[in-house]
C-alpha cells in the first residue's frame, strides 16, 4: 500500500488475506474458529508409508494430522502453547488413541511448532 512501511503493511493488510504460494497455504486469523485445547503428540516411528484412515499413504514429511472426530480434509491451525508457533495441518487419519490427547501430528508438523514428544496445543478450524 502506498505510504506504508513494510511493517505497517504486514500488520494491517496481511492478517486479513488468505492465499496460496506453491504448496504452502496462508490463512488469516479471522478465518480460524477456536476448537479445542489439549495435549498433542507426534506419530511414532514405523508409520511412514502405511495407510491412514482415509486411505492415503502416511507421509511424515507432509503437514497432516490425526483427529478423532473432524472430517477428513479439514484444515486445522495447531498452536504450541509453550512456543507460540503454529502450523496448518490437514486431517487425514483417526486418532490419537493415547488417553488425554487431542491430536497426533506428522513429524513435519510437530517440528514446525517446536513439539518434541508431547505438548499443550490449541486447535482452530479454518
pLDDT at 29: 56
Q: pLDDT of 7-50, one tens digit each?
A: 443 333 334 334 444 455 555 555 678 889 999 999 878 899 89
Category of 92 on φ-ψ map: left (φ > 0), alpha (ψ -120 to 50) or beta: alpha
What digits encode the pLDDT tens for the residues 65-114? 999 999 999 999 999 999 999 999 999 999 998 889 999 999 999 999 99
Regarding whether 22 and 69 lie in a shared domain, the answer is no
108/54 same-domain check: yes
Residue 116, domain CATH: 2.40.40.10
Same domain membership, residue 87 and residue 59: yes
Taking a C-beta distance cutoff of 8 angstroms, is the pair 43, 107 a contact? yes
Q: Are residue 111 and residue 53 in the same domain, yes or no?
A: yes
The three cell numbers of residue 5 are 512501511
C-alpha angle with apex 28: 26 to 31, nearest 5 degrees?
A: 120
| pTM, to two decimals | 0.75
Domain identity same for 48 and 95: yes
21 and 64 inside one domain: no
User: Which structural domain range is residue 104 located in?
Assistant: 32-125
Amino acid at each position: 500500500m502506498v505510504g506504508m512501511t513494510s511493517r505497517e503493511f504486514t500488520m494491517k493488510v496481511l492478517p486479513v488475506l488468505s492465499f496460496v504460494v506453491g504448496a504452502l497455504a496462508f490463512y488469516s486469523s479471522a478465518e480460524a474458529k477456536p476448537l479445542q485445547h489439549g495435549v498433542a503428540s507426534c506419530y511414532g516411528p514405523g508409520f511412514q508409508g502405511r495407510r491412514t484412515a482415509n486411505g492415503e499413504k502416511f507421509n511424515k514429511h507432509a503437514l497432516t494430522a490425526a483427529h478423532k472426530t473432524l472430517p477428513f480434509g479439514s484444515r486445522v491451525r495447531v498452536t504450541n502453547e509453550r512456543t507460540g508457533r503454529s502450523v496448518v495441518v490437514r486431517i487425514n487419519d483417526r486418532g490419537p488413541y493415547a488417553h488425554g490427547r487431542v491430536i497426533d501430528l506428522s513429524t513435519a508438523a510437530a517440528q514446525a511448532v517446536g513439539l518434541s514428544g508431547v505438548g499443550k496445543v490449541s486447535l482452530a478450524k479454518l
